[in-house]
Structure 1
């Protein structure tokens, strides 16, 4: 066998066909590919990747570890900073969901009230999950990503991640995690920020509540909330904006000021970063 035949090429340099791709936010994106008959190495240096084969893949296998062969409906989960090597066989179509680690931890905290420190994305190769497969095939693969409502597609994507969180192997016990705020302190801080989101909250206020130095408070806060204090305050404000866009007839400028933003433009920039659309577009989607 020739040296060239044995050589692995990067996924980015491969002869893959990208049928479509769509970024919901900077934290979430989808891609639909086809590839075959190549030896690849995959360096996951940006975000976690959840991959599912739609068709083919029967001859595809890892060359760096002992693992099963692929096939339709089989998933692989590649954490950020993981590396892997693959031998591809007959043509296969597959979909990738790229997601940010902090986004997953924030979703776990929001939906399940899970401590973000317990979330640990493992490397998994060719596992099966009928519930996830149904979501991929019938809720994601069969819809037009650009014609579908942005919010509806984001909701389906979050359902995929929630389903993945409910799978075994994604959490570690609390006795294995260190750092972070004590639970009663975390609740105290969260309640305080929800009560005072409409004004500037100073770091020294929060650190005093926690009876910590500002430096140690910031570090422990992020371990508990998967966000910095300022990011968490912005998240609270944007959630308030979202609620008011759904339930009130206030102008965008009034909503911005009431929710602690300097102006409408300031609010719009952070709203789009969190939800991928502008406040006005969101407001129209509720009509």
Structure 2
């Protein structure tokens, strides 16, 4: 019988801007980006077991059990701490895969924080983030749980205070392969680095360097961006395929959602500077470096 049960959100993120500034010898790209959370995402339910087994249901089509980031996060905690407890995890999947919303990374971060609590490990946030970085470059921002200016491959984080508008997030029904975007010859990789202060103060327009490449390779993404741009400034998040429009209020979001192409999936969401995961865990937002509204 399970001893403890915990239900937690795994929120989506947006890249409010994304500049690619170079490419390292190991093939990873260096970047500058602004991460912000949304008040929507997946939900995970954790039930502790005594036998060390890590169970996950339902299985995700096309993703072997051992390759799932949720399972890998739990296994990383086993390896790091020698803990002999196990867990049954139920995933209520809401976020589209390959959408640029960070769903897999967010699932991994929620798993790390949930099991640290349920297994009584009491690891520091920095140690959990370091474990998360082995799983993916976006995992640390979900572990730390605050909107952030990120550099390096996305792991060097500085907390920031961004505006928290309503967004319409639109998925045009295609799956974008991240590797194919980052390996594309035409991808911009030489955007000059800017300071965090300049980005936050509107010294440079916010954009996504992946957007042109994704639109060239996925015409449906280009069509969706053109359509949503007719209502409000629109940008790709991450390497796509999701795009988002920053809106003045919730009513504008509701109006747009009534007009979305039936072949697309869209939803409204509110920007958050404190991750809904950390709000659920009772964490507080740390001091931020600045406040910014999208240029």
**Shared fold (TM-score greater than 0.5)?**
no
Question: Which one has more relative contact order, counting CA pairs under 8 Å at least 6 apart?
Answer: 2
For the pair shown, the structure with the greater C-alpha radius of gyration is 1
Structure ranking higher in helix proportion: 1
Give the TM-score, by structure 2 length. 0.29
Structure ranking higher in strand proportion: 2
